[in-house]
Amino acid sequence: MHSLTSLVQEALLLVLLASALPVLAGLVVGFLVSLAQATTQLQEQTLSFAPKVVAIFLTLSLAGPWIGSQLVRFAFHVFDGFAGMVGP
């Protein structure tokens, strides 16, 4: 059984890894749209919103199975630890 500290550390790392792909996709698309806006001098605030949402949903649809499997694996790991705490 892992200690509570290592369990929380593993959970925080899992949250970081699971959220990294969509956040990075939104960051890259937002940067590219901002770069295009700066080059064309088109300063519309809402223009960068739609491409970022599309990029994030596309990333989640592609990486969703991996993220889900990691979350399920961690949940099984936590519940197995609970079973070990009860004892015979």
Per-residue pLDDT of 4-20, as tens digits, reads: 788 899 999 999 999 99
Residue 46: pLDDT above 70? Answer: yes
Q: What total of structural domains would you count in the chain?
A: 1
Distance CA 71, CA 29 (A): 26
Model confidence pTM above 0.85 = no
Report the chain's mean pLDDT, rounded to a whole number. Answer: 88
User: What does each C-alpha distance from 58 to 17, 20, 22, 25, 70 come to in angstroms?
Assistant: 17, 14, 9, 9, 19
Q: Could you tell me the residue range of the domain that residue 60 belongs to?
A: 4-86
